Amino acid sequence: MSHAPSTPAARLAALRDAMREHAIDAWWLPSSDPHNSEYLPEHWAGRAWLSGFDGSVGTLVVTHDAAGVWVDSRYWVQAEEQLAGSGIELMKLQPGQAEAPMRWLAERLDEGATLGFDADVVSLANARRLEDALAPKGIRLRGDLDLLDAVWPDRPALPEAPLYAHPAAYLDERRGERLARVRAAMAEHGADWHPISTLDDIAWLTQLRGDDVAFNPVFLAHLLVGTETATLFVAPGKLDDELTAGLAADGIAVADYADWPRSLNALPGEARVLLDPAKLTLGTRQALPAGVPLVEASQPSTLAKSRKSDADLDHVREAMAEDGAALCEFFAWLEAAIERGETVTELTVDERLTAARARRPGFISRSFSTIAAFNANGALPHYHATPAAHATIAGDGLLLIDSGGQYHGGTTDITRVVPVGEISDLQREDYTRVLKGTIALSRAHFPCGIPSPHLDAIARAPLWAGGRDYGHGTGHGVGYFLNVHEGPQVIAWSAPAAPHTAMQPGMITSIEPGVYRPGEWGIRIENLVANRPAAASDFGDFLRFETLTLCPIDTRPIDVALLDPAEADWLDAYHAEVRECLAPRLEGDALAWLEKRTRPLDRG
């Protein structure tokens, strides 16, 4: 068996050899898989393996004489460091410039050139954008190859973890009811079949969970829903007899994961197929009969999944309380350890925080890789410490901790910043303006159905007033014991304000403004909130945010003079709620820490 090239530069050379062998002039490698996932099984982490850049988002494009990775500002510093010496250039992607690598290809490739990619990992929507960008130069798209197989001889196999049921105690409807909702949407569109590949949608519909993707309790599968039948495509051996029988009782047959293309191709040629181009790959479209009528619309399960029921939200509140109690235990330990002069590193933070969560009922795992970032590391929004590169928490500065947990009753995601030693006036102003942004959006009332990107400026206004901004979105949807990032809503001005992004009751979204000063520090304050009905109005239905996250926001770095009375009142009321909810779950040092950190502000 041949050995894989050992460096990004060698892997790049091997890829170019494979490109020449197949008469391909450029290769397109996104951060994706056949399910359009954000977080990938190692088998499909080809962009990270080939380039050396392991951030969660980025597009690698390779020609015979140039190569680049396009990433947004969250990853610029990380990508620059990790791409050094690879022969791959960092391409800084600005907001609203998603098509920049396509334009780069159009300018660089000759008339009639061939762009290759694996059609099974490129969404139908992106494939169409590529065609639109490159067709004027007669550039041909070829999606029938996966060149990673040629250059990655020890490529990881697909995961084989068994599936399990989401416990019935955390569910308030049956699988059949969820399928009925999808079928009702299919009927509205006059569709006979609906293929689904996004893993969190499939997990939600089937009420199953898995361990195929780190931190996300999902499993590799496809689901084909018809007007009378449904078939789950999953690898043999992942379902036991009891789960298979339960699926059958709800009208869901089971087939081999590998049979997905063949089963799609066998659909009747006159059948109308409902699909979402942003959520299915070009490979899936190509597997359908060539002339099959398509109905293109937003995937109905995505909206249904985002709207948590009142029963779901009750479970989420309980998960938030357990998570908050774990955080109090952790922060009580952290402050005491620093005060005693113990050696505490960014790695220690992750270990102790995960251990505190693991002691709480219902905890399953972290919901993403913990970001514990001291001083300059905090300026990297997606920083992660490693044994080879991490900081010790000592001296003066700010420690940013972004973490979350998966519980049977919900998914958590929270960011807090802790002052260590002395901090500067500029750090206080940065911190306070970020807090003002969090409070501003948390207090907002807004029309039901407003496109979520329109809310972004509310959080940014207090930062803009001080000449500050941040390069990431303000909020993302969060799943119910599912992915920590989900749609359809997203609070980001650069996202399209499309109808499917409308804010609806029951949605859970993060609020997380920030300020990042490269080489110095980073600040982000994040809570999760739920869309709840606001007071009735003659002007239509309005929503408000209910803050779900329960953990004190450190008041020590606040410049109180920058807060207006309403903002100070909000913070005091939030801390009173946190204290009331968490105190019965705590004792000893953790309870004392909670009481200390939730005292009303000293308004001087």
Where exactly are the structural domains of the chain?
A: 8-151, 164-300, 310-597
Structure tokens that stand for 379 in this block: 């300026």
pLDDT at 543 (0 to 100)? 97
Q: How confident is the model at residue 283 (pLDDT cuts 50, 70, 90)?
A: very high
- pLDDT over 90 for what percent of the chain? 89
- Which amino acid belongs to residue 366? R
CB atoms within 10 A of CB 120: 22
Sheet holding 222-226, edge to edge: 252-256, 230-234, 222-226, 193-196, 273-275, 294-296
The residue with tokens 């937003």 is 298
Residue 434 pLDDT exceeds 50: yes
Q: With 60 as the cut, is the pLDDT of residue 2 above it?
A: no
**Structure token digits, residue 123:** 């969404």
Segments in 22-117 forming alpha helices (H):
46-51, 76-83, 100-108
Q: Name the band, by pLDDT with cuts 50, 70 and 90, for residue 72.
A: confident
Residue 361 burial class via C-beta count within 10 angstroms: exposed 0-12, middle 13-18, buried 19 and up: exposed
Note the pLDDT tens digit of each residue in 153-210.
999 999 999 999 999 999 999 999 999 999 999 999 999 999 999 999 999 999 999 9
CA distances from 64 to 257, 379, 488 (A): 35, 35, 38
**Structure confidence at residue 4 (pLDDT):** 66
Spatial distance between the Cα atoms of 600 and 480, rounded to a whole number of angstroms: 32
pLDDT of residue 73: 79
Question: Cβ contacts of residue 45 below 8 Å, gap of 6+?
Answer: 54
Closest CA to 432 of 579, 600, 595, 568: 568
CATH of domain 164-300: 3.40.350.10
Residue whose C-alpha is closest to residue 477's, from 438, 512, 442, 440: 512
Tens-digit pLDDT profile for residues 522-572: 999 999 999 999 988 899 999 999 999 999 999 999 999 999 999 999 999
Coil, strand or helix: which one is 546? Answer: strand
- What sign has the CA pseudo-torsion 527, 530, 536, 541? positive
Residue 133 three-state SS:
helix
User: Right CATH number for 310-597 from 3.30.499.10, 1.20.1250.20, 3.40.50.620, 3.90.230.10?
Assistant: 3.90.230.10
Region class of 188: left (phi > 0), else alpha (psi between -120 and 50), else beta: alpha
Q: Answer whether 366's CB lies under 8 Å from 213's CB.
A: no
Instruction: Name residue 58's amino acid.
Output: G
Give Cα 28 distance to the centre of its chain. 22
pLDDT tens-digit profile of 102-113?
Answer: 999 999 999 999
Nearest to 416 by CA among 597, 604, 599, 215: 597
If we measure between CA atoms, which residue out of 495, 413, 424 comes closest to residue 454? 495
Mean pLDDT of 40-58: 90
Query: How far is Cα of residue 385 from the mean position of the Cα atoms in its chain?
Result: 19
What average pLDDT score do residues 326-343 get?
Answer: 97
Q: Do domains 8-151 and 310-597 have the same CATH topology?
A: no
The H-or-E segment that residue 68 falls in is: strand 67-71
Instruction: Inform me whether the pLDDT recorded for 270 exceeds 80.
Output: yes
pLDDT of 1: 43
- Main-chain dihedrals φ then ψ at residue 486, nearest 5 degrees: -145, 160
Q: Mean pLDDT, the chain, as a whole number?
A: 95
Residue 154, CB-side half-sphere exposure with 13 Å CA sphere: 8
Strand partners, 365: 406
For residue range 221-242, what is the model confidence (pLDDT) as tens digits? 999 999 999 999 999 999 999 9
At 460, the pLDDT band (50, 70, 90 cuts) reads very high
Which residue in 548, 583, 554 sits closest to 331, CA to CA?
554
> Nearest 5°: CA angle at 562, between 556 and 563?
80
What is the per-residue pLDDT for 57? 85
- The amino acid occupying position 391 is A
| Strand locations in 252-396 (E) | 252-256, 273-275, 294-296, 363-366, 371-374
pLDDT of residue 404: 98
Q: Which two tokens stand for residue 513?
A: 């403004």
Q: What is the mean pLDDT of residues 438-462?
A: 97
At residue 268, the 3 state secondary structure works out as coil
Q: 8-151: which CATH architecture? A: 3-Layer(aba) Sandwich (3.40)
The residue to which tokens 């040092």 are assigned: 589
Token code pair at residue 410: 């919900």
- pLDDT on residue 178: 97
Contact in structure between 364 and 217 (CB atoms under 8 Å): yes
Instruction: Work out the average pLDDT over 114-120.
Output: 96
The answer to whether the CB of 387 falls within 8 A of the CB of 369 is: no
Nearest to 238 by CA among 259, 255, 260, 224: 255
Q: Is the pLDDT of residue 97 over 90?
A: no
The pTM of the full predicted model, rounded to 2 decimals, is 0.94
